[in-house]
Amino acid sequence: MSVEFCGLELAHPIINASGTFDAIAARRAFGDELLERFPFSAFVSKTVTVEPRQGNPPPRLWELPAGLMNSIGLPNKGLDGYLANDLPQLSELSVPLIVNVMGFSRDEVAQLVSGFAVREEVAALELNVSCPNVETGMVMGADPGEVARLLAAVRPLTGKPLIVKLTPNASNVPAVALAAEEAGADAVSLINTIKGMALDPRSGEPWLGGQTGGVSGPAVRAVALAQVYAVSAVVGIPVIGMGGVQSGRDAADLMRAGATLVAVGTESFRDPAAGSRIAAQVSGSSTNDRISVRG
C-alpha cells in the first residue's frame, strides 16, 4: 500500500496530524521499538515558531461529547532550540520528517523556511497558516490573497515540498487551496481545528485560558470530509485529509473524497498505536470503489 507523495515514497497513506503525537516522548517511553514499529509513514512535527513560546495559560483542554477542544498556543523551543535539540532526535526516526512551521508575519515564515531549507534531515515543510489559538486572532490562511503573497515570498527559498495547512475557519476554503496551488504549494492539508468555546459551569466564564479553542475529534469528521471533497475537486496537487479519523473506514472515506494521505490526530491521544491500526485497516479495505471528485 505504498504511496508516492511529493517525491517521497511512503510505506502507507497514514501520517500524524501536527501536534498530536510527541515522537521524542514516545521514543523515551517505548525505546527503539518505536523506531522499528513507527505508527506513521511520515512524521509531522509540532509547530515551530521563530522565537521560543510558553504557550497559552491553562486550562488548555476541554473534553467534548465527541471530541476535544484545545488552546495550547504553540509552546515550543523556537527555531534555534528546535534545530539544536529536537531535530537531531527526530532525524533518527525511521520515516521522513515533515516540519510544521508558523510565523506571525511573512518575514518570520521566510526565516523558518530558510532555516530548514538547508537541513537534509527535513523532507518537507508544512506551513501552518491556520492555528486558531493566537492572541492576535490573525489567521493568515483565511484569505486567498494573503496565502498567495506568503507563497510568493517563501517559494523561492527552498526546493523542499511545501504543504499548506488550511483552516476550516474560512468562508471559501477551496479558494484558499487554489491560491496556494497557483502560488507554488506542492500540497495542501486540511482540516485544522474548528474554533469553539466552553464556559466554566461554575463561574460562567470561558473555561480555556485562551478563551476560545480548536475543536477536533469525531465531532469534526463530517466537516473534514466535506472540505476535503470540495478542495480535491478544485486543486491538482495532493491533498492530506484529516479530521476525526478513528478507523480505516474514516481514512478510506477521506481518500474516496480525494485525499492522497490521511492524518490521524486526536485519536492518537486515546490510542498511541492508532496510526498502525488504521494503516492496517486501510490496507485491508478495497479502494476500487473510489469516487471521482475531479469529474
Identify which of residues 3 and 264 has a Cβ nearer to ligand RRO in the complex.
264
Identify which of residues 1 and 134 has a Cβ nearer to ligand RRO in the complex.
134
Cβ-Cβ contacts under 8 Å for 203 (sequence gap 6 or more): none
Q: Residue 192 Cβ, how far from ligand RRO at the closest point, in Å? A: 5
Q: Residue 111 Cβ, how far from ligand RRO at the closest point, in Å? A: 17
Part of the chain binding ligand RRO (CB under 6 A), chosen from 72-80, 147-155, 217-225, 243-251: 72-80
Q: Is 246 in the site for ligand RRO (CB under 6 A)?
A: no
Q: What is the 3-state secondary structure (H, E, C) of the chain?
A: CCEEECCEEECCCEEECCCCCCHHHHHHHHCCHHHHCCCCCCEECCCECCCCECCCCCCCEEEECCEEEECCCCCECHHHHHHHHHHHHHCCCCCCEEEEECCCCHHHHHHHHHHHHCCCCEEEEEEECCCCCCCCCCCHHHCHHHHHHHHHHHHHHCCCCEEEECCCCCCCHHHHHHHHHHCCCCEEEECCCEEEECECCCCCCECCCCCEEEEECHHHHHHHHHHHHHHHCCCCCCEEEECCCCCHHHHHHHHHCCCCEEEECCHHHHCCCHHHHHHHHHHHCCCCCCCCCCC
Residues numbered 102-141 forming contacts with ligand RRO, rule: CB under 6 A = 128, 130-133
Cβ-Cβ contacts under 8 Å for 221 (sequence gap 6 or more): 243, 244, 245, 250
Distance CA 80, CA 163 (A): 22
Identify which of residues 17 and 282 has a Cβ nearer to ligand RRO in the complex.
17
- Which of 74, 113, 150, 251 is in the footprint of ligand RRO by CB under 6 A? 74
Q: Is 144 in the site for ligand RRO (CB under 6 A)?
A: no
- Which of 47, 111, 246, 266 is in the footprint of ligand RRO by CB under 6 A? 47
Identify which of residues 34 and 134 has a Cβ nearer to ligand RRO in the complex.
134
Residue position matching grid coordinates 488552546? 71
Residue of this chain nearest to ligand RRO (CB atom)? 214
The three grid cell numbers given for residue 67, joined into one nine-digit string: 471530541
Q: Is 16 in the site for ligand RRO (CB under 6 A)?
A: no
Q: Is 265 in the site for ligand RRO (CB under 6 A)?
A: no
- Which of 141, 168, 174, 214 is in the footprint of ligand RRO by CB under 6 A? 214
| Annotation says 131 is catalytic | yes
- Which of 6, 10, 19, 238 is in the footprint of ligand RRO by CB under 6 A? 19
Q: How many residues bind ligand RRO (CB under 6 A)?
A: 15
Identify which of residues 195 and 277 has a Cβ nearer to ligand RRO in the complex.
195
Part of the chain binding ligand RRO (CB under 6 A), chosen from 69-77, 89-97, 139-147, 254-262: 69-77
Active-site pick, 48, 87, 93, 131: 131
Q: Residue 71 Cβ, how far from ligand RRO at the closest point, in Å? A: 6
Q: Is 192 in the site for ligand RRO (CB under 6 A)?
A: yes
Which residue numbers are catalytic? 131
Which residue ranges make up the site for ligand RRO (CB under 6 A)?
Answer: 19, 47, 70-74, 128, 130-133, 192-193, 214
